[in-house]
Amino acid sequence: MRVTSPDFYKYNSLMANLKEVKQRINSVISTQQITKAMKMVSAAKLRRAQDRIIQMRPFSQKLTAILNNVSAASEGATDLVYAEKREVKKVLLVPVTSDKGLCGAFNTNVIKATNLAIRTQFAGAEVTILPVGKKAFEYYKKSKFTVVGQYSTLFHDLSFENIRAAANYAMDAFVDGEFDQVILVFNEFKNVATQIIRTEQFLPMASAETEETTATETDYILEPSREFIIEELVPKALRTQFFKAILESNASEHGARMTAMDKATENAGDLLKELKLMYNRSRQAAITNEILEIVAGAEALGGK
Rounded CA-CA distance 64/85 in Å is 19
The predicted pLDDT at position 3 comes to 41
- Predicted model pTM: 0.82
CA dist 47 → 160, 186, 189 (Å): 19, 20, 12
Please name the amino acid found at residue 208: A
Question: Is 74 part of a structural domain of the chain?
Answer: yes
Rounded mean pLDDT, 194-203: 94
Tell me the pLDDT band of 183, cut-offs 50, 70 and 90: very high
Domain count, the chain: 1
Rounded CA-CA distance 174/54 in Å is 29
The predicted pLDDT at position 214 comes to 47
The winner for highest mean pLDDT among 3-17, 206-220, 238-252 is 238-252
Q: Residues with catalytic annotation?
A: 103
Could you tell me which residue, 103 or 65, shows the higher pLDDT? 103
CATH of residue 164's domain is 3.40.1380.10
Question: Is 57 within 8 Å of 193 (Cβ atoms)?
Answer: no
Give the SS3 label for residue 92.
Answer: strand
Question: Is 208 within 8 Å of 215 (Cβ atoms)?
Answer: yes
pLDDT at residue 8 tops 70: no
The predicted pLDDT at position 20 comes to 87
Question: Is 22 part of a structural domain of the chain?
Answer: no
- For 107-144, the pLDDT digits (tens) are 999 999 999 999 999 998 999 999 999 999 999 999 99
Question: Is 270 part of a structural domain of the chain?
Answer: no
Return mean pLDDT, the chain: 86
Q: What is the DSSP annotation of 171-229?
A: HHHHHTTS-SEEEEEEEEEEETTEEEEEEEEEESPPPS-SSTT---------SS-HHHH
* 41 φ/ψ angles, rounded to the nearest 5 degrees: -65, -45
Longest dimension (CA), the chain: 118
Question: Is 2 part of a structural domain of the chain?
Answer: no
Question: Is 97 part of a structural domain of the chain?
Answer: yes
The predicted pLDDT at position 1 comes to 38
Question: Is 6 part of a structural domain of the chain?
Answer: no
The predicted pLDDT at position 218 comes to 61
Domain housing 192: 43-259
Question: Is 273 part of a structural domain of the chain?
Answer: no
Tell me the pLDDT band of 66, cut-offs 50, 70 and 90: confident
Q: How many angstroms from the chain centroid is the CA of residue 220?
A: 41
Q: What is the DSSP annotation of 95-155?
A: EB--SS--STTHHHHHHHHHHHHHHTTTTTSEEEE--BSHHHHHHHTTSSSEE--TTTTGG
Question: Is 87 part of a structural domain of the chain?
Answer: yes
Tell me the pLDDT band of 219, cut-offs 50, 70 and 90: low
